[in-house]
Amino acid sequence: MAFDTTAANTGMVQGACIRIERALEKPLVWLACRHHILEVVLKDVFEACMGPSSGPNIALFKRLQNRWPIADHSRPQPLTPTALSSDEEAHRLEMLGHLKSLLDCGNHPREDYKEIILLSVAYLGGGVPTSFRAPGAYHMARWMAKAIYAVKIMLFHDQLEMSRRELAGIRRVVFFVTMVYANYWNEAMIPSYAAKNDLDFTTDVKRICDDGVASVAERAMRRHLWYLSENLIGLAIFDDRISPEQKAEMVEGMKRPSTTKNPRRPESKTPINLNRPLSAFCSVRSIQVLKSLLGGQQPTFLELSPEIWNTDSCFKCAKKRAGVLKVTSDLAERVIALIQRFLGNRTKDERQTQFLLKLARLHTKAVPKKTKAELKKKVSE
């Protein structure tokens, strides 16, 4: 069950997730939306650097949108490597190589995911794209737009009228986005990467970004450590980046008794120590997610050496099923947006709303699937 981490969904008494479990009369695997978690982190970092917005739109973004048609897109201003420390320069080169490999793979579910990689590569000095997309919607509810707009503003800041405070703030945001955030955003859809990435994110942001940004980003991430919980840490077993030795330690950790009342996410009166190996987050409850992937059967591969797991049919079956888990709710958000756009101000009556949605569904089934160009051609005829 994938969900956004709002209180309306995650409340332990009347939250939507609990109510769904009650209605189905069985426990579900709770999969917090990885993109929503990272969007919350970006939102907090942006507001810490730029200040909160007093309205639904961000003035600096609107300025870029208005200026864009007359801006010279052939002379962007990338990051200057000479201004970086030796550690930052090494990380820049590492990120540049990684982001370029993501571009080469060509697997991008949405255009804005690809765009943030292209812009990050351009800002880090890896080459300018043949063209830049015109700025789209900048409503503050579209948190991904913050990253895209911020990098575009920084690339063309010399052609915009910006105060010193605005320039300093947007520079901090873009440094965070291109040097840390973009990589983790594009790996957010891989379930087995989640636990390690959450630990690595807090390490990278403290090592690369300034103390102010690092503090805000870490605090936001600590509120959303769902994938380091006893219930979900087991998914990290399928992360190929983790060594067999570390996986063996995780298996040993799964023999420890549980130490929390809420195994769905780590909670403590004192800050959770994130400078620990993944095995420290495991308990006997961590086996449950592996059993769920196997339809209730025992994960017998845990009795084998991790070095030979890839030859075991039980492990391969569980890994395949873990790989198709939906840990982002992007599709649901797009469906809701389409429904809201379709309904508009037609009616506020719930019965009429349900009738219109049923009518749209019947029409979708009745009309063969066609591309937008084909439908336009048919209408014009």
pTM for this prediction: 0.84
Q: Which of 367, 368, 340 is nearest to 356 (CA)?
A: 340
Query: What band does 141 get if pLDDT is binned at 50, 70 and 90?
Result: very low
Q: For residue 170, tell me if it sits in a domain.
A: yes
pLDDT of residue 140: 45
In a domain, 28, yes or no: no
- Of 189, 217, 241, the residue that ends a domain is 189
User: Does some domain include residue 162?
Assistant: yes
Q: How many CB atoms lie within 10 A of CB 64?
A: 21
Residue 80 lies in a domain: yes
Distance CA 181, CA 38 (A): 8
The angle, 0 to 180 degrees and rounded to 10, between the axes of the packed helices 211-222 and 164-176 is 50
pLDDT band at 379, cuts 50/70/90?
Answer: low
The answer to whether residue 238 is domain-embedded is no
Whether 211 is covered by a domain: the verdict is: no
Q: Is residue 17 part of a domain?
A: no
Query: What are 64-119's pLDDT values in tens digits?
Result: 888 999 989 888 999 988 888 899 999 999 999 999 988 888 777 677 788 889 99
Domain that holds residue 376: 353-381
Task: Tell me how far apart the alpha carbons of residues 46 and 60 are, in angstroms, rounded to a whole number.
Answer: 12
**Domain-located, residue 44:** yes
Please count the structural domains in the chain: 2
Here the tokens at position 150 are 């911020």
Please write the tens of the pLDDT for every residue from 217-243.
999 999 899 999 999 999 999 999 999
pLDDT at 332 over 80: no
Of 155, 189, 223, which residue is a domain's last?
Answer: 189
Final residue in a domain of this structure, among 138, 173, 189:
189
